[in-house]
Structure 1
Amino acid sequence: MKVLLFLGCLLLLVSAYSISKTHEAKTHTNSITENAMVKSFYEFSMIDLEGKEVDFSSFKGKKIMVVNVASKCGYTPQYEALQKLYSENSDKLVILGFPANNFGGQEPGSNEEIKSFCSENYGVTFPMFEKVSVKGFDKHPIFRWLTDAAMNGWNNEEPSWNFCKYMIDEKGELIKYFPSKVDPLDQEIIDIINA
């Protein structure tokens, strides 16, 4: 009888603990979701390849293209088109490059090596940021925002490879996703910039 009573009490304690933890987890998740939903693109800031913090609110009033980039990818020559697009439209467009090593280990370099590679090979002058993760458990918050409809309003599409492109309008709203194969000088991208 004492054994049954003991087991019954133990079962009640385990159930109470489980219910408490489930409620705690739901509360934490709801808090994260609520905070994420109100966060604007302009609330982010990041460290660039120069080691300086860049406040994204400084890009207000321009179209923004966010690109996950890599130095040893078949799409790496897109740096040339990205630089051309930026040079020709810098009055109304900013391109933000985010080096990432998520796909095939194609960005193994340090931030300094990435900076040198981009400058020497493609003359990149658009803002480039510290190397980040663009998918998986360690995905950077900016890519969480870009790839979670609860945060950005509509898109759940993660980068499928290097050189995926996310277009953001002058109000900081995500308006379009382009996969890697879409050339930065594609007419649809030009039309969005000029709209």
Structure 2
Amino acid sequence: MMGRIVFLAVFILAGYQVRALDLTTPFASIDGGSLALSDWSGQPILVVNTASRCAYTKQYSGLQSLYETYRAAGLVVVAVPSNDFRQELASEQQVKTFCELNYGIDLPMAAITQVSGPQAHPFYQSLMHEIGFEPKWNFSKVLIGPKGDVVATYKSNIRPQSAEILRDIEGILQ
């Protein structure tokens, strides 16, 4: 315990700063305009990088269902389409139409956005710097608590309605 305190003191005295998660830099919205995660301050937010031509694309159904189930309790589910893994359609309009027709999506969606690497959106850059999380594939998930903290991250293969995600969401909604 004492070693951790000394390390933290040295870390702070050396001029290092713990950076906050970037919730204010807006994403371009697939509907036009912008989406800032800070607009939902005080609410839990599940942010998911998505792609229309991925083996996990069927998770859109689970994301929409999760949103419908917990929306009244305050949960926001935000889809962030990305072509970082070369599995997204060519345009925002194609993505929007695909999601509406195939999955009945009405949850907030960003425009096609970079989520990994040096050109990643500032939210994803802050995730990397803050907690070391960077999407390794489509449908990686980040649960942000009502206070703007990262509650959990989930790999692509974790379904939106998995016991793990439901437990974490219900835990912060209470």
Taking structure 2 as the reference length, what is the TM-score of the superposition? 0.83
**2:24 paired with 1:43:** yes
Equivalences for residues 56-95 of structure 1 within 5 A = 56-91=37-72, 92-95=74-77
1:41–1:173 Cα contact (<8 Å) kept: no
* CA–CA separation in structure 2 for the residues paired with 1:145 and 1:137: 11
Aligned residue among 147, 155, 167 for 1:171: 147
Match of 2:79 among 97, 108, 116: 97
| Paired residue secondary structure (1:175) | strand
Task: Name the one with the larger helix percent.
Answer: 1
| d(CA) in 1 for partners of 2:109, 2:69 | 18
Note the C-alpha offset of 1:134.
1.0
Gaps of at least 5 residues in structure 2 are 1-15
| Over 6 Å off, 4+ runs | none
Does the 8 Å CA contact 2:26/2:37 hold for their aligned counterparts? yes
Secondary structure of the corresponding residue to residue 100 of structure 2: helix
Separation (CA, whole Å) in 2 of partners of 1:61 and 1:137: 29
Measured after TM superposition, the shift of residue 44 of structure 1 is: 2.5
Please give the secondary structure, in 2, of the residue aligned with 1:147.
helix
Q: 1:50 to 1:164 in 2, by over 3 A?
A: same
Structure 1 residue 40 displacement after superposition: 4.5
Rounded to whole Å, the distance in 2 between the matches of 1:46 and 1:139 is 11
1:19-30 equivalent positions in 2, closer than 5 A: none
Instruction: Note the 1:140-151 alignment, pairs <5 A.
Output: 140-149=121-130
Q: Does 1:138 align with 2:119?
A: yes
Show the 5 A alignment for 1:149-160: 149=130, 155-160=131-136
Native 8 Å contact 1:146 1:166 kept in 2: no
TM-score when scaled to structure 1?
A: 0.75
Ranked by relative contact order (alpha carbons within 8 Å, sequence separation 6 or more), the top structure is 2
Q: Which amino acid aligns with 2:117?
A: G
Residue aligning to 2:33? 52
User: 1:117 is matched with which residue?
Assistant: 98
Q: Secondary structure at the match of 1:189?
A: helix
Which deviations, in whole Å up to 9, do the C-alpha atoms of 1:116-148 show, x marking residues without a partner? 111010001110001111112211111101222
What is the number of residues matched between the two proteins?
A: 157
Q: Aligned equivalents of 2:21 and 2:136: distance in 1?
A: 24
Paired residue secondary structure (1:84): helix
- Unaligned 5+ segments in structure 1 are 1-32, 150-154
